[in-house]
Amino acid sequence: MGPLAGLKVIEMAGIGPGPMAAMMFSDMGAEVLRIERQADATLGIKRPEGYDLLSRGRRALALDLKNEAAVSVVLDLIAKSDALIEGFRPGVMERIGLGPDACLACNSKLVFGRMTGWGQDGPLSQAAGHDLNYIALTGALGAIGRKGQMPTPPLNLLGDYAGGASYLAFGIVCAVLEARTSGKGQVVDAAIVDGTAHLMTSIYGMHGAGMLPGGRGDNILDSGAHFYDVYACADGKLISIAPIESKFYQKFLDLAGLSADELPPQLDQSGWDRGRDVLTRKFKEKSQADWCALLEGTDACFAPVLDMSEAPNHAHMRARGVFITTDGVVQPAPAPRFSRTVPATPTPPRRAASMSLNEALAGWMSPSEIDTLRNSGLTIQA
């Protein structure tokens, strides 16, 4: 089930964007086999197995890749794959005998997906880093935050997942489609700095056109404008408004019971602070629920600010099935949606140690091949 059914992907276990990209493939029906380390790499933020949601929907094999025989097993699996995902520092896969040259030698149509923060080359390519460092270098972090305050880390959504995992997955799909025409695989170098910079294309265009004259927190989209911001209600809960277009702004004013005389001209930047004062007082007149009853579902460009315990229970999210519950764990459903090749509900995350060799390799090896591997003397699933 799913639009990528039949696609086979090897995932070299890692953290952050690599697992996210692998989850995106498995959510869409691809057969993804995760190759785990047998020793704990002490990387990332640890969590219980059932809540390691980026590992959902796929099987896993644990091997000691310092062992040449284990590397040979991986190469055998790569020979049957369409793509590979790895997120190590540049050169690590080459040192263990699984670099692009070795992998493409056993499968000329393989798409070798490489996920890093800084990229495969450049002066920073061998340095450690995390999402915050990568988005800092692109200009994105410096643009996010309120006036007079330090930049605000946007979780690790912008770098790891938007600029990293999404671009890696897109790049691999592009290369797989091309390989079906050319018969040739290739390497996809997906760097978080590249993807995050690309996400900033529109903002860089505005910057170049002189449309962002202020500093951080002074402009339309960064909380500078009174009509694109978050406000507190009478009960302390929050709401968001974003009526950028004049017709939506007027609709907001009408529904909120405000006249144009009470506010500065919408796009007069010198009056935005005064406009914010007016709206701050106005929104404190009613509770969040009252404002929802008045503005939600209209063209006022409005939504309540919900926390992660509230969002799955909102009527719109429930109606669309945006969240699912698997083994008692609430989590986002696969996205996007397809009219015909509908993806299956993801299975719960499981590590290699919690599944048998037969379960892990079903569809990758025949029963006799699995028995041979089991009796080879290699330490597996440990």
Least confident of 124-133, 250-259, 287-296, 366-375: 366-375
Rounded to two decimals, what is the model's pTM?
0.96
Task: Place 131 in a pLDDT band, splitting at 50, 70 and 90.
Answer: very high
List, in sequence order, every beta strand (DSSP E) within the chain: 8-12, 31-37, 59-63, 83-86, 111-116, 186-191, 229-232, 238-241, 302-304, 323-326, 329-332
How confident is the model over 158-169, as a mean pLDDT? Answer: 98
**List of residues 6+ apart from 183 with CB closer than 8 A:** 108, 109
The per-residue pLDDT for 315 is 98
Does the bond joining 336 to the residue before it have cis omega, within 30 degrees of 0?
Answer: yes
Bridge partners for 329 per DSSP:
326
The per-residue pLDDT for 382 is 60
Task: Place 47 in a pLDDT band, splitting at 50, 70 and 90.
Answer: confident
Give the Cβ contact number of residue 293 at 10 Å: 11
Bridge partners for 229 per DSSP:
241
Question: Domains in the chain, start-ordered, CATH in brackets?
Answer: 8-199+327-374 (3.40.50.10540), 225-305 (3.30.1540.10)
Indicate if the alpha-carbon torsion angle 230, 233, 238, 240 is positive or negative. negative
Residue owning tokens 């964007």: 17
With beta carbons less than 8 A apart as the criterion, state whether 226 and 279 touch. Answer: yes
Answer whether residue 42 shows pLDDT above 70: no
What is the per-residue DSSP string for 113-155?
Answer: EEEESS-SSSTTTTS---HHHHHHHTTTGGGSS-TTSPPPP-T
How confident is the model over 117-136, as a mean pLDDT? Answer: 97
Question: Encoding tokens for residue 270?
Answer: 């010198």
Answer whether residue 39 shows pLDDT above 80: no
For the annotated catalytic residues, the residue numbers are 130, 160
How confident is the model over 148-174, as a mean pLDDT? Answer: 98
Query: Could you read off the pLDDT of 313-372 as tens digits, one per residue?
Result: 999 999 999 999 999 999 999 999 999 999 999 999 999 999 999 999 999 999 999 999
Mean predicted lDDT score pLDDT of the chain: 96
CA 264, distance to chain mean position in Å, is: 39
Question: Encoding tokens for residue 245?
Answer: 């277009």
Q: Is 229 helix (H, G, I), strand (E, B) or coil?
A: strand
Answer whether residue 308 shows pLDDT above 80: yes
Answer whether residue 288 shows pLDDT above 90: yes
* Alpha carbons 137 and 159: distance in angstroms, whole number: 11
Task: Place 41 in a pLDDT band, splitting at 50, 70 and 90.
Answer: low
**List of residues 6+ apart from 264 with CB closer than 8 A:** 270, 271, 272, 274, 275
Q: What angle do CA 174, 117, 49 make, to 5 degrees?
A: 85
With beta carbons less than 8 A apart as the criterion, state whether 189 and 217 touch. Answer: no
Question: Encoding tokens for residue 73?
Answer: 């097993």
Query: Could you read off the pLDDT of 210-263 as tens digits, one per residue?
Result: 999 889 999 999 999 999 999 999 999 999 999 999 999 999 999 999 998 999
How confident is the model over 57-66, as a mean pLDDT? Answer: 95
Nearest-CA neighbor of 19 among 82, 111, 87? 87
With beta carbons less than 8 A apart as the criterion, state whether 342 and 279 touch. Answer: no
Question: C-alpha distances in angstroms, 352 versus 23, 41, 118, 186, 361?
Answer: 16, 15, 30, 29, 11
Over pLDDT 70: what percentage of the chain? 99
With beta carbons less than 8 A apart as the criterion, state whether 275 and 226 touch. Answer: yes
With beta carbons less than 8 A apart as the criterion, state whether 215 and 147 touch. Answer: yes
* Alpha carbons 380 and 352: distance in angstroms, whole number: 9
Buried b (16+ CB within 10 A) or exposed e, 52-87: bbbbbbbbbbbbebeeeebbebbbebbeebbbbbbb
Q: What is the layout of strands, in order, in the sheet containing 229-232? A: 229-232, 238-241, 302-304
